[in-house]
Amino acid sequence: MASKAECDKYAAMLLQRFEEYTKWAIANWPNKDFPLMESDFEASHRELSEILGPKLSEGEEKPASEESGRTQYRDVTPMPWP
């Protein structure tokens, strides 16, 4: 299981590479009549934030008492309408 330091290092590297990628994509976009803008990557940035937020935090080490209280399945049945 990954430590918090490993997760933080991974997140920083992924963000750096994403920023480099978007700058490269904007600079090398071949259609100059319809240029790429940073706003074109906003949805990707939101998805990346989702990956680096809750999903990456699940990889952190948890105390044994916290893990034993988790169940294998989570109830996703919606509440009935009133």
| Tens-place pLDDT, residues 48-77 | 988 888 777 664 455 544 455 566 777 777
Cα angle 31-37-41, degrees, rounded to a multiple of 5: 115
pLDDT digits (tens, 9 = 90+) for 6-33: 888 898 899 999 999 999 999 999 999 9
- Report if pTM > 0.95: no
43 versus 56: the higher-pLDDT residue is 43
Rounded Cα distance between 34 and 18, Å, is 22
